[in-house]
């Protein structure tokens, strides 16, 4: 979970023996993380800005963030962490809730925050459809690897969506939850933000959250698979 493709590649290069399956695993790992950095993150961040634009705020557009150009969204440290530990981030999209004048501020906060994870899930759905189409026309080993890459990236995409929906700062889930909570509860969470975050991170590192994360991700993947029933 926390071993990124660069670490996997390093371990492979210095291992005593290398099998074909190990090489394929590392290649798929590198491929999926590059897709996340150059495709998934930009779509996620652009979705935040697009929703804000729809609601009346053009801040992201004015700052050049309403684009799928990955270089407008890449955070160098976040990309490096993604390659090393598979936990990374992009530059946060600037959103001015006060300018989202088409809905109430709390509604705008929830909608702009939810847009990113939903975009990830939609992208996962598209990748599952592509995966099934490749399988239907599978004739070569290369095609099998492409299918694996598509499915693997869809899984990670769903995981990132679920991860971003965790209801603590600085994740999108916190803003979604904050739009429904009373002011005192939001203030308490903001005041104790660092403590809550490090407790969460510790639970994550020790695998305590593996089961609920796994159940959520598997559940979404199951739903996306069923939603693509027309491809078998």
- pLDDT (0 to 100) of residue 2: 66
Distance from C-alpha of 95 to C-alpha of 72, rounded to nearest angstrom: 15
- pLDDT (0 to 100) of residue 186: 86
10-residue mean pLDDT series, the chain (232 residues): 78 78 81 87 95 96 95 94 86 94 93 95 93 86 81 86 91 92 87 90 84 93 92 76
- Catalytic member of 8, 20, 45, 61: 45
Q: Which residues contact 76 (CB under 8 A, 6 or more apart)?
A: none
Residues facing residue 74 across a β-bridge: 90
- pLDDT (0 to 100) of residue 32: 79
Domain boundaries, the chain: 5-231
Distance from C-alpha of 188 to C-alpha of 216, rounded to nearest angstrom: 27
- pLDDT (0 to 100) of residue 90: 93
Q: In the block, which residue shows the tokens 């950095």?
A: 37
Token pair belonging to 172: 């999108």
- pLDDT (0 to 100) of residue 98: 92
8 catalytic per annotation: no
- pLDDT (0 to 100) of residue 147: 86
């Amino acid at each position: 979970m926390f071993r990124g493709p660069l670490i996997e590649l390093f371990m492979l290069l210095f291992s005593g023996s290398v099998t074909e399956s190990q090489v394929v695993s590392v290649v798929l790992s590198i491929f999926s993380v590059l897709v996340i950095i150059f495709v998934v993150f930009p779509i996620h961040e652009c979705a935040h800005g697009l929703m804000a634009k729809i609601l009346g705020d053009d801040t992201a557009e004015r700052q050049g963030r309403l684009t799928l150009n990955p270089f407008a969204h890449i955070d160098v440290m976040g990309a490096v962490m993604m390659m090393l530990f598979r936990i990374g981030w992009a530059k946060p999209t600037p959103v001015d809730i006060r300018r989202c004048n088409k809905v109430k501020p709390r509604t705008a906060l929830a909608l702009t925050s939810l847009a990113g994870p939903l975009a990830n899930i939609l992208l996962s759905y598209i990748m599952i459809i592509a995966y099934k189409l490749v399988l239907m026309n599978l004739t070569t080993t290369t095609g099998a690897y492409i299918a694996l890459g598509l499915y693997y990236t869809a899984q990670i995409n769903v995981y990132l969506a679920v991860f971003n929906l965790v209801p603590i700062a600085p994740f999108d889930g916190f803003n979604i939850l904050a739009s429904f909570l009373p002011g005192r509860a939001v203030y308490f969470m903001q005041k104790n933000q660092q403590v809550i975050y490090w407790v969460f991170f510790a639970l994550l590192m020790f695998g305590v959250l593996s089961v609920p994360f796994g159940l959520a991700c598997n559940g979404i993947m199951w739903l996306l698979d069923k939603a693509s029933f027309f491809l078998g």
